[in-house]
Amino acid sequence: MANIITTTVSPVLAALFVAEDAARIVAETRQCDDNDNARCLIQYEIAHHTAETVNDLKTKLGFMVEQKMGDGMDWLPTVLEDVQRIEPVETADRVEALKRYEETTAENTAALAAFSVAEATFEEDPHVEATRAHTRANMRLDEASNAQCEAIRALILPPAPSLSALLVNMQIAIDTGMIACTDLNNALATDLRRFSNYANQEA
**Span 158-178, pLDDT tens digits:** 999 888 889 899 999 999 999
- 186 and 156 belong to one structural domain: yes
pLDDT of residue 10: 83
- 192 and 126 belong to one structural domain: yes
Domain boundary among 86, 120, 135: 86
pLDDT grade for 186, boundaries at 50, 70 and 90: very high
- 112 and 184 belong to one structural domain: yes
Q: Among 201, 146, 136, 143, which Cα is nearest to 178's?
A: 146
- 96 and 80 belong to one structural domain: no
- 176 and 155 belong to one structural domain: yes
Q: Are 173 and 156 in contact (CB under 8 A)?
A: yes
Q: Which of 12-21, 31-40, 70-79, 93-102 has the highest mean pLDDT?
A: 93-102
Domain boundary among 86, 110, 130: 86
Q: Are 8 and 195 in contact (CB under 8 A)?
A: no
Segment among 24-33, 122-131, 176-185 with least mean pLDDT: 24-33
pLDDT grade for 138, boundaries at 50, 70 and 90: very high
Domain boundary among 86, 104, 126: 86
How many domains does the chain divide into? 2
- 181 and 162 belong to one structural domain: yes
Instruction: Give helix 128-156 / helix 92-124 axis angle, nearest 10°.
Output: 160
Cα–Cα dist 156/150, whole Å:
10
- 99 and 80 belong to one structural domain: no
In a domain, 19, yes or no: yes
In a domain, 201, yes or no: no
Instruction: Give the DSSP per-residue string, 63-117.
Output: HHHHTTTTTT---HHHHHHHHHHHSPPPPHHHHHHHHHHHHHHHHHHHHHHHHHH
Domain boundaries, position 22: 6-86
Cα–Cα distances (Å) from 32 to 25, 38, 42, 90, in that order, read: 12, 10, 16, 50
Q: Which helix (H) or strand (E) holds 35?
A: helix 33-48
- 167 and 119 belong to one structural domain: yes
- 68 and 103 belong to one structural domain: no
N-terminal to C-terminal alpha carbon distance within the chain: 26
pLDDT digits (tens, 9 = 90+) for 119-132: 999 888 888 898 99
- 56 and 104 belong to one structural domain: no
